[in-house]
Amino acid sequence: MNRQSTLPSAREQARRTLLLIGAPAAARLIVDVHGALFDGDLSVAALAGLLRDEEREFAAGVPAAYRICPALLPDLTAARGQITLSTWPVTGRIASPATDELAAVVRIAEFIAMRETAGPAAAALLRRLAENVPGGTEAYAVQNPAALADAARTALAGVAVTPLPDGTAHRWDGLEERQRLFGVPGLPHQRGRR
């Protein structure tokens, strides 16, 4: 007996979840959001394998409409453990943990608020997310996703946005496509030098 899966691929599951989150995100958050809100079998191990495959396929010249790739640090090196979509602009691909998590909570809570019912997995996800939002636990105490979104939005408004370092955009324009997707190689740490 042959079984065919009707589930989307891990790549498509990751893409759909990243589009919902809307900011660079940790693999664990992507898996948790996907598990709570979508059908599928996305795991952290699958995401790690997917990142390796994306880089390998790029090296082999396999064209793709989008790639799942690492987020970037302000110096355009890869941000370990943070994932983004290749189609996002450079400003959307640079990890900023202080704002990325709050922006993600706003989008996730609003998405859940639009649904008629939030299942137990979605409610558990919101409870966990509320713990990282100032005033979020109180806002979500009544299990109102819209209140959590408002608390996260308020907290986000109070976070100072750090501008990109001077020259980042110019440096980005000069990068090869591979470096834009997977980050520029970092400089090795040299021991004994001060």
Residue 187 confidence (pLDDT): 61
Residue 159 confidence (pLDDT): 87
Q: Model confidence over 57-86: pLDDT tens digits?
A: 998 888 889 999 999 999 999 998 999 999
Provide, for the chain, the percentages of residues in helix, strand and coil under a 3-state DSSP scheme, each rounded to the nearest 5.
50, 10, 40
Residue 150 confidence (pLDDT): 94
CA dihedral 58, 85, 82, 71 (to 10 degrees): 70
Q: Model confidence over 30-45: pLDDT tens digits?
A: 999 999 999 888 999 9
* Residue 23 predicted with pLDDT over 90: yes
Distance (Å, rounded) from C-alpha 28 to C-alpha 101? 12
Which residue from 131, 129, 135 is spatially nearest to 109, judged by alpha carbons? 129
What six digits make up the tokens of 133? 């939002």
Residue 20 confidence (pLDDT): 97
Question: Residues 33, 126: contact at Cβ < 8 Å?
Answer: no
Mean pLDDT value across residues 110-124: 87
Distance (Å, rounded) from C-alpha 31 to C-alpha 68? 14
Residue 1 confidence (pLDDT): 46
Q: What pTM was estimated for this model as a whole?
A: 0.88
Q: Model confidence over 131-146: pLDDT tens digits?
A: 999 988 887 766 789 9
Question: Residues 28, 99: contact at Cβ < 8 Å?
Answer: no
Residue 169 confidence (pLDDT): 79
What six digits make up the tokens of 114? 């639009």
Mean pLDDT value across residues 136-163: 86
* Lowest-pLDDT range of 30-34, 110-114, 118-122, 123-127: 118-122
